[in-house]
Chains A and B, each alone.
Chain A
């Protein structure tokens, strides 16, 4: 049977200020937030509570009750950062920890409690350690997440423990709101006379579901252990980044490269240890006068080689304009992928493939990866759509040869031809200010348009023409068109 420990941090925003040493908290103090165009109190400290202020009150009312009240709007971002810090800290108690935002942490303590001398002792230990960190806490321990949460928030004591298998009994006395239901549902239940969880046990769950929705029965089932509701620890994705702050700004390229060398060695060392590589690296250079300069490079395959990072950044660094120097640097690796190690020192093919990728990286980082491309076949019968150009980086080239012989140059759109002696195809014509005589012609090859697309819907006739001047052209006309214009669609070798 799993055992869950729920940590509730009821005064997290206030604790954050206490930890910062805010002197205003020696008097009556409250955190406020704007709710539907009115400022309301969200958290109030002990002195404020003693003066008669309550959380949830309108700010104006609270001021009337307690004229000395000092307030500050909440800062959800910083509060979440503190919560995440505590979430990482909670590793000391159990390896499986998940966040329960905005003000809780859930720990799966199955098999951990004996290390602390028992569940109640473990709860007490957590409480002591957190109060050392100046954070107020209430703790509930039960068989399920829902029950542990409910006990932490509504259990009454600082540490409430429901013995194994007795979670339902422990919940019975608690109010319905302990099930983490929406406010509206709680008031609906109260109107029906269902105020405590024990009342819900007496009802048939089908009737509860029909009247109040499936959400209620789901919550009840999860809290009483009838439906599975495991703690899913949110894996802390490792960040591969390093930063460096210097006492004095630097500006020479050699110095910048030395800094980058150190950062890259650190980041790539961690990547190598984890057998991973990154496809992109970002470098932020913070200048003392002009602020942050983001630089970034890409790789055609996952890379964890510090030398390569340095090499690819060298161009970007040399272009950076630094007047008064920079004193803060951060290198981060993004698009992390596992590396499949490959021996490149043995065998011609592997080395060639490696050299090809290095060249693609070098070119791509300067002129853009979208400008280094390969051909990709497409399943289509229209000559200009039989292939496409796609980005070369990160793609294994594959080509399936098209079934028909086509010119080596294809002009899209086709180029207009001045017909001098008409014929089919024209006997003499001018193209690109050059005169041509038709000597031999083969055709027509008729290609029908893709009627299912919104494009030029004219049927095309292609002729392969050997001109007396030597060049072999692919002439195009649209049969059935009013004016019989001719175009050059391509050139054969």
Chain B
């Protein structure tokens, strides 16, 4: 327990029916069987499984993870649970007292050299202007921004938007649905967390999310 696993996520389930109808050819083309999060971009995550999406994505990043939020969001974060997926030493918590401070901190962290992984717990919707600024900051710093949308979803400059929910299964599983992708890379995956299993080489500037096994 708790040692540094290089986690491999396996594409276990099938595509959701709705997704099939929507865009399975594009999905197959754009993603193959791999979901990838581009660095130097911000990505939005919503739904009850958003925490887990952020944790697994950050685990791929492996270093320099900042978890930002208001007090009420940070106080409930429990490292004794997160330690299974993530090196707790890499985690820095940033507690802001206001929305403005939170956005400033996220902007600074994304802009800073060192390509940090910034997990931002957004208490309400992010306006288009704000998300553009964060996006520009991420492009400058080369890090990755994961915005956990606790409020509503709105038009934004994010590269992708995901909806994540835990699923009933034999072992912990999640449904990740990519609802928006600027390059058309939408799709849906059922993901389980597997212990150490080495995946392939990472493409440059991407963060590997799902090491593939064909669906």
Interface residues of A (CB under 8 A from B): 351-352, 355-356, 358-360, 362-363, 366-367, 371-375, 383, 386-387, 389, 392, 397-399, 401-412, 439, 466-468, 470-472, 490, 492-493
Rounded to whole angstroms, the CA-CA distance of A360 and B167 in the bound complex is 37
Rounded to whole angstroms, the CA-CA distance of A239 and B94 in the bound complex is 34
Interface contact B78-A410, CB-CB below 8 Å: yes
Offer 30 A-B interface pairs, CB within 8 angstroms, sorted by A.
A351-B114, A352-B63, A352-B114, A358-B112, A359-B66, A359-B108, A359-B112, A363-B105, A363-B108, A367-B94, A367-B97, A367-B101, A367-B105, A372-B95, A374-B89, A375-B93, A387-B80, A401-B80, A402-B80, A409-B78, A410-B81, A411-B76, A412-B75, A468-B168, A470-B165, A470-B167, A490-B81, A492-B172, A493-B166, A493-B193
Rounded to whole angstroms, the CA-CA distance of A401 and B78 in the bound complex is 12
Rounded to whole angstroms, the CA-CA distance of A399 and B87 in the bound complex is 8
Rounded to whole angstroms, the CA-CA distance of A374 and B77 in the bound complex is 12
CB distance from A20 to the nearest CB of B (A): 52
Interface contact B168-A387, CB-CB below 8 Å: no
Rounded to whole angstroms, the CA-CA distance of A278 and B39 in the bound complex is 36
Additional A-B contacts beyond A399-B83, A405-B1 (4; CB < 8 A): A362-B112, A371-B97, A408-B52, A471-B166
Q: A352-B63, A366-B104 are in contact. Are A472 and B81 (CB under 8 A)?
A: no
CB distance from B95 to the nearest CB of A (A): 5
CB distance from B10 to the nearest CB of A (A): 16
Query: Which of A375, A490, A493 has the largest count of B CB atoms less than 10 A from its CB?
Result: A493
B2 at the interface (CB under 8 A from A): yes
CB distance from A388 to the nearest CB of B (A): 10
- Which of B102-119 touch A at CB < 8 Å? 104-105, 108-109, 112-114, 116
Q: Which of B64, B76, B77, B167 contacts A352 (CB 8 A)?
A: B64
Q: Residue on A with the closest CB to B75?
A: A412
Interface contact B89-A371, CB-CB below 8 Å: no
Interface contact A409-B95, CB-CB below 8 Å: no
CB distance from A397 to the nearest CB of B (A): 4
Rounded to whole angstroms, the CA-CA distance of A410 and B168 in the bound complex is 21
B207 at the interface (CB under 8 A from A): no
Interface contact B105-A387, CB-CB below 8 Å: no
Q: Which of B76, B97, B112, B168 contacts A409 (CB 8 A)?
A: B76
The dominant DSSP class at the B interface is: mixed
Q: Which of B96, B112, B165 contacts A367 (CB 8 A)?
A: B96
CB distance from B50 to the nearest CB of A (A): 11
Interface contact B92-A373, CB-CB below 8 Å: yes
Interface contact A359-B109, CB-CB below 8 Å: yes
Interface contact A470-B166, CB-CB below 8 Å: yes
Q: Residue on A with the closest CB to B74?
A: A389
Rounded to whole angstroms, the CA-CA distance of A472 and B82 in the bound complex is 15
A375 proximity list for chain B (CB < 8 A): 79, 88, 91, 93
CB distance from A293 to the nearest CB of B (A): 22
Interface contact A408-B96, CB-CB below 8 Å: no
Q: Which of A399, A466, A471, A493 contacts B79 (CB 8 A)?
A: A399
Interface contact B52-A374, CB-CB below 8 Å: no
Interface contact A408-B89, CB-CB below 8 Å: no
Interface contact B95-A373, CB-CB below 8 Å: yes
Interface contact B108-A407, CB-CB below 8 Å: no
Number of interface residues of B (CB under 8 A): 49
Rounded to whole angstroms, the CA-CA distance of A364 and B79 in the bound complex is 22
Interface contact A493-B165, CB-CB below 8 Å: no
Interface contact A492-B81, CB-CB below 8 Å: yes
B34 proximity list for chain A (CB < 8 A): none
Rounded to whole angstroms, the CA-CA distance of A466 and B142 in the bound complex is 39
As a 0/1 sequence over residues 165 to 177 of chain B, the CB contacts with chain A under 8 angstroms (1 = contact) are 1111000101000
CB distance from B115 to the nearest CB of A (A): 9
B49 proximity list for chain A (CB < 8 A): 493
B101 proximity list for chain A (CB < 8 A): 366-367
B136 at the interface (CB under 8 A from A): no
A439 proximity list for chain B (CB < 8 A): 168
Q: Residue on B with the closest CB to A373?
A: B93
- Which of B123-172 touch A at CB < 8 Å? 165-168, 172
Interface contact A470-B92, CB-CB below 8 Å: no
A362 proximity list for chain B (CB < 8 A): 108, 112
A404 proximity list for chain B (CB < 8 A): 80
B24 at the interface (CB under 8 A from A): no
Q: Residue on A with the closest CB to B96?
A: A367
B166 proximity list for chain A (CB < 8 A): 470-472, 493
CB distance from B184 to the nearest CB of A (A): 28
B55 at the interface (CB under 8 A from A): yes
Rounded to whole angstroms, the CA-CA distance of A111 and B27 in the bound complex is 90
Interface contact B1-A401, CB-CB below 8 Å: yes
- What 5 A-B pairs come out closest when comparing CB atoms? A401-B2, A355-B114, A410-B78, A408-B81, A399-B88
Rounded to whole angstroms, the CA-CA distance of A383 and B116 in the bound complex is 30
A412 proximity list for chain B (CB < 8 A): 75-76
B84 at the interface (CB under 8 A from A): yes
B199 at the interface (CB under 8 A from A): no
Rounded to whole angstroms, the CA-CA distance of A392 and B94 in the bound complex is 10
CB distance from A492 to the nearest CB of B (A): 7
Q: Residue on B with the closest CB to A401?
A: B2
Rounded to whole angstroms, the CA-CA distance of A93 and B197 in the bound complex is 76
